[in-house]
Structure 1
Amino acid sequence: MLFVLIALWAIAAIIWLSDRRAPVNHWLGAVAFSGGAGALAAVLDLQWLPAAADAGMNEVARQLLYRLQAVSSLVSYYGLPYSFILFAIAYRPVRLSKRFQSLLPFLLLIPIVLCIVFTPFYTAVYPISFKIVVWWAVPYIMYGAVQVLLKRQLHASFSRTHWIICSAVLPPVMFCMVMNYVLPSFGMLRMWVYNTWIVGLGVTIFVIALFTYGFMGVRVNIDRRRYDSTLRAVTSGTAILNHAIKNDAGKMRLFSEKMKAYALATDQQELLADIETVLNASRHMQEMLQRVHRRTEDLVLRVEPTDLAALIGQTIKGYEPVLGQIKLQTSLSPGWNCRIDPAQVSEALGNIVANALEAMKGKGELSILLSETKRELIIEIKDSGPGMSKSEMAKVLEPFYTTKNGSDTNFGLGLPYAYHVMRKHKGLLNLRSKPGAGTSVYLTFPKRAVQAGKTVIHHEKGREASE
């Protein structure tokens, strides 16, 4: 049980720290914390209180441990179904009025308050009145499980999170429902001792998934720090290099122009040709460095109200002449106005589209979708190209890494630049790819961060209204 206590509270801390404001993370962390409270009560009951009695601990200290056990047990019994149903409602939102949504956590507390006030208080044998609590705790958990299972995944990039929740969260919660509420209501007490194995299995699945795929934004945060530090290093390095080479290239051009004037005055054609070669080389050197510097310099956003669907359509239009035999499909949810930097977002989107077109080599399908969830706007760019292996996927956001060979104009900065643009907008860039199955890139804008609002056309009145 000590392992379960440490594991569940560690998971709660990880989930809470990954995104404190997200209701899903808030309530899922509460589920893990409630389970950990139950493990603490079990450790106190099975180990610490008997050890305290054997060691001759004074009565006051033992009473404090007993009260801690009582509080931990009640937090677990009452907190688990309560936090789980609120997690499920946040995970698969229910259409309710804003006022009712704000009241819902308090309304769901009513059975708990009534049980605490009107049923016998905690005892070691009967910590709660099982025959009463079972009538609301089981419906809470069952409804929450149905909500989670009915969650419809709009995007493949989020399917892993759903799979992890269904594998790591639902089985332990459902098992605890039977052992903690159902069986004790029939007189089969202390069945919670069997929770250890199923909870341990859920923890194992969570930890493996956390380090393999990431969960609820946790691994993304780890990757963000790595990519951000890499981009900062590249930005600093290219800034220094740009300054040094620009000065030296300027000197080369200045003296080459003087020599060119002398060669023209003395009619030395061979010398003139050599000088032109040097001038072209210096110009090329400056141009290449400027391209790198523009892609790696720290971005300063110039946000303005922008119709996101119109911006996407305008960006795609510039690539239509080079589509060749590639079939383009678009589905853009109209009317979303956001405060973004249209130039930077268009450039980032263009880089991704250009990568997709180059990967497909003139044949295939390219689909670009703009869709919405309750809290986010998501641009999906999906190609039918050769896809990428796991090793390539792990490196593709690193500056100067590229899968394209034989090109002296590709520096492997397109995706890192797009990632940088999304980070500046407090958004995400996610990728999904398999060899032979193409690549999907997801640009996710939080509605709150970009102040997104949808414009609805009222045809009957011939005017527009903004939600």
Structure 2
Amino acid sequence: MAVMVTLLWLMSSILFIRNPKSEKIKWASCIGFSAGFGGIGVLLGKGLSRPEWILFLDGFFTSIGHYITPYGMLIFGLVYSDFIKINKTKKIYKLLLLVPIIIMYSLFQVYPEFKVNFVILSIWVVPYVVSANILLIYSAWRETRPAIKKRKILTCLFVVPMFTFALVTNIILEAFGIKGVWYYNPWMIGVQFLVFIYFAIKYGILGVQIRFEKERRDSTMKAVSSGTGLLNHTIKNEIAKIDLLVNQLKEYIPPDEASSENLDLVLNSTNHVLELSTRIHSKLDILNLKESKFLLSQSVDSAISLLKPYLNLHTDIKIVKQYTVNATIFGDAAQIQETFLNIIKNAIEAMDGRGVILIKIYKTRRKVYIDFTDTGKGIEKDKLSLVLDPFYSTKRQQVNYGLGLSYCYNVFQKHGGDISIKSRVNQGTTFTLSLPTKRIIDIKINPQSNSNSNGERAYGQN
């Protein structure tokens, strides 16, 4: 039993420490800690001959294990599935679902010895735990984003068997008069702990792997920050030269529509880079955010416009846009646009001159998302977690320094957002960028969501 308590509290501590601000993680940790308190009650022994303070702790801890654990399971299911969208309504449900616990404390004694009628206890605990399982499975079933769906399925595979086993051994069998089966719980918890560690290392569960990767990536960024200062200074000087020379060329080249347009595109690109360069500090992990209001869709469109020379060279590459929402964001427009530019340029280079880049903007209850999906060569599974690391690159060119996607990651981290990647070799890659609701000033449903970049707007295209 001591092993069970240790493993439960260890899992709960790992989850909470890795992501203490997440409501889902708080309730997941609550389940582990409250179940652990039930185990502590067993370790304190039996009989009324024990000291008074031990009797009190035994009754109190055991009641937490029996009453609070199933309550935590159901609230976790509600929060994890986003079944209730409105925070005020969610608070009301949390209070109402406490009613059976209050009744149990009023009906059955806790001190000097915890006593409960398991038949009555099962009347509300069984629906609580079964409902939690249904909510978790429903959340995974209705998820449409493949990467998130996979994580939710893994969470179900980890959580649902544990909830069900605890319900059967601790409540249902006791209600039928079959006692002592809960002694097998430590073995189940041991197996679940090994599964938890395996999922956390290999796939990521409830955010644990993501946090490990972020810590490694952030430490790498600090290690390369001094070299980035020199790189930034050099780029600024060279771009300034290009800008000066192009302005001089405009004075000597006879005016015609094609050359003027191309020279203006070059100047727009150099001005964009100079604007960024003057505001990036000498360290990679310190960005000066110059925040203002801007339309997210316009930022994506501007990035595509700056890449027009690349698209003109690859006429068989089409960019399809699906903007289901029109979001006004408060953030650094230039650096977010540069992030989009980097990701789209990488997608173009990954497709060897032919394919489709699908750009989606959509919103959930808490975040706005931007997806960039290409039909390129994809990224090997063992390299996927390294893509956002500084100086890592899948490209072989000597001019590539592997800083573009690290910069993108850092920009969105500074905005309170995140970047995730899913990819399959020879099928393509999807970059999913997210920004929290605190960055959203206004958002409207866009009735015309589809267009392409190499021609007329293609409204209604699927």
Within 5 A, what are the aligned runs for 1:281-296? 296=284
Distance across 2 between alignment mates of 1:452 and 1:183:
53
Aligned partner of 1:82 among 60, 67, 71: 71
Aligned partner of 1:108 among 97, 102, 115: 97
Distance across 2 between alignment mates of 1:445 and 1:96:
18
Distance across 1 between alignment mates of 2:285 and 2:57:
55
Task: Letter of the 2:96 partner, please give it.
Answer: L
| Superimposed CA distance per residue, residues 119-168 of structure 1 (whole angstroms, 9 cap, x where no aligned partner) | 344676x7422111111111111111111111122322223321232111
The secondary structure found in structure 2 opposite 1:236 is helix
The Cα of 1:231 is off from its aligned counterpart by: 1.8
Q: Corresponding residue for 2:453?
A: none
Distance 1:209 1:296, change over 3 A: same
The Cα of 1:35 is off from its aligned counterpart by: 2.0
Q: Corresponding residue for 1:173?
A: 163
Q: Corresponding residue for 2:152?
A: 162
Distance across 2 between alignment mates of 1:79 and 1:414:
48
Task: Letter of the 1:102 partner, please give it.
Answer: K
Structure 2's unaligned 5+ residue stretches are 242-273, 448-462
Task: Letter of the 1:43 partner, please give it.
Answer: L
Q: Corresponding residue for 2:255?
A: none
Q: Corresponding residue for 1:147?
A: 135
Task: Letter of the 1:411 partner, please give it.
Answer: Y
Distance 1:457 1:166, change over 3 A: closer
Further displaced range: 433-442 or 176-185: 433-442
The secondary structure found in structure 1 opposite 2:431 is strand
The Cα of 1:240 is off from its aligned counterpart by: 5.7
Q: Corresponding residue for 2:191?
A: 201
Task: Letter of the 1:376 partner, please give it.
Answer: K
Distance across 2 between alignment mates of 1:37 and 1:241:
55
Distance 1:398 1:99, change over 3 A: closer
Aligned partner of 1:191 among 177, 181, 191: 181
Distance across 1 between alignment mates of 2:400 and 2:440:
34
Asked if the contact 1:86–1:105 (Cα under 8 Å) also holds between the matched residues in 2, the reply is yes
For normalisation by structure 2, the TM-score amounts to 0.79
The Cα of 1:242 is off from its aligned counterpart by: 7.1
Distance 1:451 1:145, change over 3 A: same
The Cα of 1:210 is off from its aligned counterpart by: 1.2
Distance across 2 between alignment mates of 1:160 and 1:37:
32
For normalisation by structure 1, the TM-score amounts to 0.79
| Superimposed CA distance per residue, residues 35-60 of structure 1 (whole angstroms, 9 cap, x where no aligned partner) | 22222223333xxx69xx9xxxxx66
- Does 2:288 align with 1:300? yes
Aligned partner of 2:361 among 370, 386, 394: 370
Task: Letter of the 1:298 partner, please give it.
Answer: I
Asked if the contact 1:305–1:340 (Cα under 8 Å) also holds between the matched residues in 2, the reply is yes
Within 5 A, what are the aligned runs for 1:247-326? 296=284, 298-319=286-307, 321-322=311-312, 323-326=314-317
Asked if the contact 1:92–1:147 (Cα under 8 Å) also holds between the matched residues in 2, the reply is yes
Task: Letter of the 1:164 partner, please give it.
Answer: L
Distance 1:92 1:409, change over 3 A: same
Residue-pair matches, total = 404
Q: Corresponding residue for 1:8?
A: 8
Distance across 2 between alignment mates of 1:15 and 1:312:
35
The Cα of 1:21 is off from its aligned counterpart by: 2.6
Asked if the contact 2:285–2:410 (Cα under 8 Å) also holds between the matched residues in 1, the reply is no
The Cα of 1:97 is off from its aligned counterpart by: 5.0
The secondary structure found in structure 2 opposite 1:306 is strand
Structure 1's unaligned 5+ residue stretches are 54-58, 254-286, 459-467
Distance 1:17 1:453, change over 3 A: farther
Asked if the contact 1:366–1:384 (Cα under 8 Å) also holds between the matched residues in 2, the reply is yes
Aligned partner of 2:338 among 320, 329, 347: 347
Distance across 1 between alignment mates of 2:213 and 2:162:
29
Asked if the contact 2:71–2:128 (Cα under 8 Å) also holds between the matched residues in 1, the reply is yes
- Which structure's CA Rg is the greater one? 1
Distance across 2 between alignment mates of 1:114 and 1:209:
39
Task: Letter of the 1:219 partner, please give it.
Answer: Q
Q: Corresponding residue for 2:347?
A: 356
Further displaced range: 80-89 or 114-123: 114-123
Distance across 1 between alignment mates of 2:225 and 2:15:
32
Distance across 2 between alignment mates of 1:128 and 1:316:
66
| Superimposed CA distance per residue, residues 224-282 of structure 1 (whole angstroms, 9 cap, x where no aligned partner) | 22222222232223336777x89xx99xx9xxxxxxxxxxxxxxxxxxxxxxxxxxxxx
Asked if the contact 1:295–1:417 (Cα under 8 Å) also holds between the matched residues in 2, the reply is no
Asked if the contact 2:78–2:84 (Cα under 8 Å) also holds between the matched residues in 1, the reply is no
Aligned partner of 1:69 among 58, 66, 69: 58
The Cα of 1:400 is off from its aligned counterpart by: 2.0
Q: Identity rate of aligned residues, in percent?
A: 27
Distance across 1 between alignment mates of 2:11 and 2:17:
10
The Cα of 1:457 is off from its aligned counterpart by: 9.1
Aligned partner of 1:447 among 406, 412, 437: 437
Structure 1 vs Structure 2 CA RMSD = 3.0
Asked if the contact 1:167–1:205 (Cα under 8 Å) also holds between the matched residues in 2, the reply is no
Q: Corresponding residue for 1:283?
A: none
